[in-house]
Amino acid sequence: MITPPDHITSGFEIFPAVLDQHDIAAAAAAFQEDGLERSRAGARHLMRHPTVQQVALDPRLVALACRFLGPSAIPFRATLFDKSPDRNWLVVWHQDTALPLRDRRDVSGWGPWSVKAGITYAHAPAAALSRVIALRLHIDDSCLDNGPLRVLPETHTRGVLSDAEVAQLARDVQAVDCVAPAGGVVAMRPLLVHASSKAETDQRRRVLHVEYADSLDLRAGLELAIA
């Protein structure tokens, strides 16, 4: 019997122990030594990186993604967020609405379009984004003072929001800090309104953010790119 997907009514869920410390140490060493091309916040488009592929396809993470997507969960995009005393940054309240696509097709409800590092992106409708779950694997311990993910529970149910609507929710909804130890995972829906403050400590905070979909085929002639 196939277990139906877990809809996480809050839009997020914290799993404190998914990968063990040996796995996390190996991933951290690979990210440290490989000379990744980094922005101030970390490194993007890592899905073809050998270590990231290995982590994203780890049966423990895939099984976790399947809890929310059904029996098929395919990783398609990965980002390393790296917050430290040298790279201390914040992210304002927002939703994740842009998806990487293999080709551009003018389909109703999709856009605006852009190209980032050679990959085509489009802002997606809520129906497509509901087929995605992000698993945020903690490489370091996340705590209240090193700039953890902050979320507004249940806001993923409101569809794609305007900037004004996001700002209003940030005033009206009590925020939750998502802290987890190294090896823990925060599962999050893309439309959940979220943010991240600057760290107030020297403790580094690295998170591998891997997005999974129930299929690369989004219908209407659109297909997710591996990014």
Q: What is the tally of structural domains in the chain?
A: 1
pTM for the model stands at 0.94
| CATH number of residue 171's parent domain | 2.60.120.620
* pLDDT score recorded for residue 220: 84
Average pLDDT, the chain: 93
- Is 20 part of a structural domain of the chain? yes
Of 3, 18, 128, nearest to 67 by C-alpha is 3
Inside any domain, residue 24 = yes
Q: What local confidence, expressed as pLDDT, does residue 1 receive?
A: 30
Give the domain range for residue 208: 12-220
Note the pLDDT of residue 3. 40
Give every residue of the chain whose pLDDT is below 70, as ranges: 1-8, 33-35
3 lies in some domain: no
Instruction: Decide if 7 is inside a domain.
Output: no
pLDDT in tens, 85-105: 888 989 999 999 999 999 999
HEC sequence for 32-95: HHCCCCCCCCEECCCCCCHHHHHHHCCHHHHHHHHHHHCCCCEEEEEEEEEECCCCCCCEEEEC
